[in-house]
């Protein structure tokens, strides 16, 4: 299953990209995404890879699909850059 695009920093809408889940979450396009549920999946593992894609057009959340798991998690952005951009657009 090829999940990586030629340029991993540029994703087409709906495209799944492979990422490693780090102790502080998942990074996509310089934005950090984190949830307690995602960290529970990582708990006890040295490394965890998953496929991610943007869930919303404003990049406020991503979908994370982990191999050998039947569900897909919605993980919110915790980066202040996204919060600022989203709040400016809603003004």
State the Cα–Cα distance between residues 83 and 3, nearest whole angstrom.
Answer: 27
4 pLDDT above the threshold of 90: no
Per-residue pLDDT at 89 exceeds 70: no
**Phi, psi for residue 41 in degrees, rounded to 5:** -65, -35
Reported as a pLDDT band with limits 50, 70 and 90, residue 69 is confident
Q: Dump pLDDT digits (tens) for 20-68.
A: 999 899 999 889 999 999 999 888 888 889 999 998 888 899 999 987 7
């Amino acid at each position: 299953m090829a999940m990586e695009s030629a340029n991993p920093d540029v994703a087409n809408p709906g495209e799944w990209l492979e990422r490693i889940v780090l102790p502080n979450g998942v990074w996509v396009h310089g934005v950090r995404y984190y949830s307690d549920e995602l960290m529970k999946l990582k708990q006890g593992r040295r490394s965890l890879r998953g496929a991610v894609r943007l869930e919303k057009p404003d990049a406020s959340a991503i979908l994370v699909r982990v191999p050998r798991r039947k569900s897909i998690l919605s993980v919110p952005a915790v980066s202040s850059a996204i919060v600022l951009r989203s709040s400016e657009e809603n003004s």
